[in-house]
Amino acid sequence: MEASVSSEKPVLRTALLYGVGAGVICALWVVGLYLAGNNPYGPKRLMSIFVPPVAVLLGQWRLRRYFKPEGPGLLRSVGTGLLITLFAAVVSASSVYVFARSTGPEPIARHLTEMRQLLKQAKPMFLKEKNGRQHYEQAYRNLAYSAQDLATDDYVRKFLVGLLLSVPGAIFLRK
């Protein structure tokens, strides 16, 4: 038996360990971007989107090692992946919300200015596509204007990407 996963509720303990850990790593990434003088809400923030799926795969692998030799089974493995994804997305989104509220409106305003400039530069590419004008206008309307919008965007992206890898990882690591 592993020291970090007790015999009591190994699925929940593994999910908490890896999910909260991934969420904290994502939070540290946002703070690091801010301290380095980068836009903490911009495209570089999206690099942290890969942390929850990696945590899912590592957590499922760890659970597989815990249930040797027969493996955790599909249900436990999928459940662990979903819980890790949920915990990581909630912790990450909560940290983005708290960070945005604590730093004030200036970083959000700078973010909006930067995103509007990027959209204006990409407008010719949008207009070349079918329904490009509608996609451009929708992208412009979907910019995050508040701490809540930023947190919601962070949650949705991390949850969906983590969810996409939870099931294949569970299938592969079930035995």
pTM of the model: 0.85
pLDDT of 92 > 90? The answer is yes
In a domain, residue 113? The reply is: no
In a domain, residue 65? The reply is: yes
Instruction: Name which of 22-31, 106-115, 133-142, 159-168 the model is least confident about.
Output: 133-142
Is the four-CA dihedral 107, 147, 141, 155 of positive or negative sign? positive
User: 20: pLDDT confidence band, cut at 50, 70 and 90?
Assistant: very high
pLDDT of residue 53: 93
Of these ranges, 95-99, 105-109, 127-131, 141-145, the one predicted with the greatest mean pLDDT is: 95-99
pLDDT of residue 7: 58
Region of residue 8 (left: phi > 0; alpha: psi -120 to 50; beta: else)? beta
* Helix then strand then coil, % of the chain, to nearest 5: 80, 0, 20
In a domain, residue 111? The reply is: no
Cα–Cα distance, 84 to 136 (Å, whole number): 34
Question: Residues 76-104: what's their mean pLDDT?
Answer: 94
pLDDT of 57 > 80? The answer is yes
In a domain, residue 119? The reply is: no
In a domain, residue 53? The reply is: yes
In a domain, residue 142? The reply is: no
Number of structural domains in the chain:
1
In a domain, residue 67? The reply is: yes
In a domain, residue 84? The reply is: yes
Cα–Cα distance, 133 to 150 (Å, whole number): 24
pLDDT of 169 > 80? The answer is no
CB 153 within 8 A of CB 144: yes
pLDDT of residue 26: 96
Q: Computed over its alpha carbons, how large is the radius of gyration of the chain?
A: 19
| Higher-confidence position of 175 and 124 | 124
pLDDT of residue 175: 65
Cα–Cα distance, 63 to 68 (Å, whole number): 9
Side chain identity at residue 39, one-letter code:
N
pLDDT of 51 > 50? The answer is yes
pLDDT of residue 170: 76
CB 80 within 8 A of CB 21: no
- Residues of the domain holding 59: 10-102+151-172
Residue position matching structure tokens 């991390």:
158
| Higher-confidence position of 98 and 70 | 98
Closest residue by Cα to residue 35 from 98, 108, 91, 107: 107
